[in-house]
Structure 1
Amino acid sequence: MAMKIYALAITLLFLMAAPAVSQQPMRPYSGIGVLLLTVEHGESSVQQEPLYLYEEPAVQRIGVLDSGRTPPYEWLFTGNTSGVPLIVTARKGEWLRVAYDDAGRLGWLEPRHRGEVQPWNTLLKGKPCRLLPGLRKQYYQIFRQPGKMPLALPALAKQSFRVVKLDGDWALAMPDQSTLGWLRWRDEDGRLLISVGMDPGSQKH
């Protein structure tokens, strides 16, 4: 009995000492596009006005947007130097509803001249993209038509591709100059399946 207790104690100590396994971040919902928010860095003679968050456009203020606490989307928008990416879920005139923290909480803001929304079709077109790791096997398959007639090609688990255009949840992708096919860029729930390589200065002004 004493030996069993001793063995159990050793096992528990080993498990406590083992390094924690890093988990893949939760894939966010795609929404309608991305706001690349310009933020002043370092000392500047021009003080940027705070961007307030509201429950509804200009109604019931809930706080100030803190660009240092926005979701860290480096794994989605690789090489991005154009601004802080905020996924936009809805729009009313000049007001945008954005996910402003890791918990996915939503608020409305008016970016004014601090950035423009890029719809996904504009943002992804022509840029190098990759399917995210850890997806279900079906998402790495490329098709001749959306969801139909799979091509006899290796799965795109690690290969990059360029997006030609979007059609609903599907993207027409070009892994190389001789291959063209369809794959999902977001899943059935609307969560993103791909990352995109961002060129410096790709934001429109």
Structure 2
Amino acid sequence: MRYLVSLTLLILIAATAWAAAPLRPYSGCGVLLAQGAPGAEPSPLPFYAEPGVQRLAELDLAALPRLSGDREQPVLAVYATKGGWLKLAWDDAGRSGWVEGARNWEYRSWDDYLTGRQVKVLPGLKKNLYALKGAPRDGSADAGNVTRDQQVRIVQVTEDWARLERPAGWLRWRDVDGRLTVSP
């Protein structure tokens, strides 16, 4: 009986720890720089199943999962765009919906946003994602490695690859599943 209770307790603890492990966010198609005067955004912000159709949720902008920035000027991943509408995640589980773009928001593609920016390589990646390549493709010769939490400067972006200034080489800025490998 003690064995059964101990085993059950161990499974519950392991499941809780596994569920609490943070996932790397999906990159989507770009970022939303939600900046401007505090309180300028509608509160709460309505999310729709499709642009303007079937309201799903209403949340404050500051409560949305952000890639970087603070509560007043968050940088959010944009999964898709349609006209003036943006598809955003509203929680860490990946639930998402469409929000209408606002005048003080700036949408930028990943190519535009990452070029010239200093980013940090995320910890906990598979070993191959720390490898620098001589060209922007997986089969290219290795050109060195970066370390977890290393600050790097991106000088060019080509699809899922970023050319680094120092150390020189190409690094995947998102993996084949579309999850970020760098922190913007």
The two structures share one fold, judged by TM-score above 0.5: yes
Asked if structure 2 preserves the Cα contact closer than 8 Å seen for 1:39 and 1:84, the reply is no
Q: Does the C-alpha gap of structure 1 residues 156 and 60 become closer, same or farther in structure 2, counting only changes over 3 Å? A: same
User: How well do the aligned residues superpose, as a CA RMSD in angstroms?
Assistant: 2.9
Q: Aligned partners of 1:35, 1:185: CA distance in 2, in Å?
A: 18
> What whole-Å deviation, never above 9, does each CA across 1:17-63 have from its counterpart, x for those lacking one?
9xx8695411111111111223754xxxx764343211111111223
SS at match of 1:101: coil
| Greater Cα offset, 184-193 or 102-111 | 102-111
Q: Aligned partners of 1:137, 1:182: CA distance in 2, in Å?
A: 15
2:30 aligned partner, one-letter code? G
Task: Give the corresponding residue for 1:113.
Answer: 103
> What whole-Å deviation, never above 9, does each CA across 1:166-204 have from its counterpart, x for those lacking one?
1111111122xxx421010101111111112xxxxxxxx
Task: Give the corresponding residue for 1:183.
Answer: 171
Asked if structure 2 preserves the Cα contact closer than 8 Å seen for 1:169 and 1:185, the reply is yes
Task: Give the corresponding residue for 2:118.
Answer: 128
Structure 1 segments (4+ residues) deviating >4 Å: 20-24
2:122 aligned partner, one-letter code? L
Q: Aligned partners of 2:182, 2:21: CA distance in 1, in Å?
A: 13
SS at match of 1:116: strand
1:84-123 to 2 correspondences below 5 Å: 84-123=74-113
Task: Give the corresponding residue for 2:28.
Answer: 31
Task: Give the corresponding residue for 1:49.
Answer: 42
Task: Give the corresponding residue for 2:151.
Answer: 160
2:141 aligned with 1:149:
yes
Q: Aligned partners of 1:27, 1:193: CA distance in 2, in Å?
A: 8
Structure with max Cα Rg: 1
Q: Does the C-alpha gap of structure 1 residues 54 and 143 become closer, same or farther in structure 2, counting only changes over 3 Å? A: same
Unaligned runs of 5+ in 1: 197-205
Q: Aligned partners of 1:53, 1:191: CA distance in 2, in Å?
A: 23
Q: Does the C-alpha gap of structure 1 residues 154 and 85 become closer, same or farther in structure 2, counting only changes over 3 Å? A: closer
Unaligned runs of 5+ in 2: none
1:195 aligned partner, one-letter code? S
